[in-house]
Structure 1
Amino acid sequence: MTDQEIVKEIRAAFEREPRVHVHRNHIRMNFTGSALVIEGEVDDIAAKKLALELAGEFAPNTEDRLRLTPASPVADGALRDAVIVAMTEEPTLKNCTIRVWIKGKEEIVRDTQPESGGAIHVFIEDGIVTLEGQVLSLSHKRLAGVLAWWAPGCRDVVNRLAVAPPEEDSDAEISDAVRLVLEKDPLLPAEQISVKTEDRVVTLEGLVFREQERKQADADTWYVHRVRNVINHIEVRQ
């Protein structure tokens, strides 16, 4: 297929997936050499990940420039402060060194000697949070990414954290991370939600008290690194 035909097929796939909200979101696509660049703003994390997943079926070499539209604009400084507070107050990351870059200069927020829990380097530009450095486990990497996503004003998270020593990823690892994230969300009755993962597709089941809790559990799961789809069977108790 030509580049134009590929883009046409992808747009047709977007039309068939209601969670992409193709008529509400603003997604642009064009080829730069052999890479498909997909950019624009979308309402939520599910729309972003599904759009990338669908595009990747037709164009495996895809460059992600999709950003979330924040509920209200937040300056990078305020976003940075929120991310740092979340990182430093999270008990799981208490042994991590935290460094942040402000106008190209490094600022050490917390220094552990030695860096027994790893080190997280935080870069923020135009609402995009980039995490670099290394942590002790895949669960640490995924939790750090979700904490960044939760910060008000975050438009995207680029999670480049390495894991040392390396761990083999698996569906079980993803399920463990999703459970951890749901437990960390104070707005959710996490003990009432079950999680299972197959081929990076997460299925949620259980009972909650409000529709907002059902939606929140869905969004939290999408935020987890490498989750490619979420099937939400959570019921709302009447």
Structure 2
Amino acid sequence: MQRSDTVLKQVMAAFERDSHLKLHNHPIHMNFDGDVLTVAGEVPDIASKKRLLQLTRIHSEGSDLVDQLRVTANPPVGDGELRARICERLAQAVDFRNCVICARIKGQLEVLRGTIDEAGNDGSGVMEVTVEDGVVTLTGQVISLSHRRLASVTAWWVGGCRDVVNLLELVPAEADGDDEISEALHLVLETDQRVRAEQITINVENHRITLGGWVATDAERRQAEQDAWCLDAIDGVVNRIQVRA
């Protein structure tokens, strides 16, 4: 059996055991090129994507990964419409009220709010949104890790997004860690009107998030977990939120 087939078999077995989900309708492919492993395919949601990548890192024994996993868009959304929705959502977000919002359209930069000259002002920043085949790329600069992570989550919240590549820079630079992840998730849950953030507890250890507390519905419980999985640079999510009528 080829090395990639062995890793794929181990990853899929661990995925089904840990998540209790099967991906028979979402074929996953892996291919080694030297010590670089490319992971490709379609998955139903961001949680499945992050879980598969995490398990692949474990079972490929430190190989460099090329992530070509995409989340299925149902229904599919055209790149232009998706770009417009994301730019509008970012422009409406209170935490990005001082950011210049731009879109890259057919190679041309279009400033949708503010001016490029304002991007360097204290307390400001700039975000440029590019969409190609449902993959959203964010470039520019923001003022904190929480804002950087919130930008990714905001893109994921817009239906039709297949992946998010966050290349936003931090000005000034900021060291990452468990406290920063916890702070970002508090901000995300407070921003998401579908959950009641005050009833959810967050614990982060070694970049792994554990959610606790209680909510009124199973849908709210799932949404809080999805919000956590949408964060960049995390190593997993454990959902211990209870549902109470």
Corresponding residue to 2:233 among 220, 226, 233: 226
1:41 paired residue number: 42
Does the 8 Å contact 2:28/2:40 carry over to 1? yes
Quick one: which amino acid aligns to residue 142 of structure 2? V
Question: Could you tell me the TM-score, scaled by structure 2's length?
Answer: 0.92
Aligned residue for 1:136? Answer: 143
| Partner Cα separation in structure 2 for residue 30 and residue 75 of structure 1 | 29
The aligned counterpart of 1:51 is 52
Secondary structure class of the residue paired with 1:97: strand
CA displacement at 1:125 relative to structure 2: 0.7
Against the structure 1 CA distance between its residues 41 and 27, is the aligned structure 2 distance closer, same or farther, given a 3 Å change threshold?
A: same
Determine the structure 2 residue equivalent to 1:30. 31
Q: Does 1:127 align with 2:131?
A: no
After superposition, the Cα gap between the structure-2 partners of 1:190 and 1:29, relative to the gap in structure 1 and judged at 3 Å, is same
Report what 1:193 is aligned to. Answer: 200
Matches for 1:156-235 after TM superposition, within 5 Å: 156-235=163-242
Matched residue, 2:91: 88
Q: Contact 2:3–2:32 at 8 Å: present in 1 too?
A: no
Distance 1:86 1:8, change over 3 A: same
Q: Secondary structure at the match of 2:194?
A: coil
Return the match for 1:62 from 60, 65, 69.
Answer: 65
- Return the offset for 1:10: 3.1
Determine which of 104, 108, 129 is the counterpart of 1:105. Answer: 108
* One-letter code aligned to 2:54: E
Letter in 2 for 1:73: P
Listed one character per residue, the Cα deviations across residues 83-126 of structure 1 (whole Å, up to 9, x for unaligned) are 01111111111111111111111101112443231111111011
Q: Deviation per CA, 1:128-169, whole angstroms, max 9, x where unpaired?
A: 100011111101100111101111111110011111111000
CA distance in 2, matches of 1:214, 1:9: 29
1:100 alignment partner, SS class: strand
The answer on whether the counterparts of 1:20 and 1:48 sit within 8 Å (CA) in structure 2 is no
From the superposition, tell whether residues 226 and 53 of structure 1 become closer, same or farther in structure 2 (CA, over 3 Å).
same
Change (3 A) 1:206 1:121: same
**Structure 2: gaps of 5 or more residues:** none
| Residue aligning to 1:74 | 77
Structure 1 residues 212 and 170: CA distance shift in structure 2, 3 A = same
Distance 1:227 1:22 in 2: 23
- Name which of 149, 157, 175 aligns with 1:150: 157
What letter is aligned with 1:21?
A: K
Number of matched pairs = 238
Structure 1: gaps spanning 5 or more residues? none
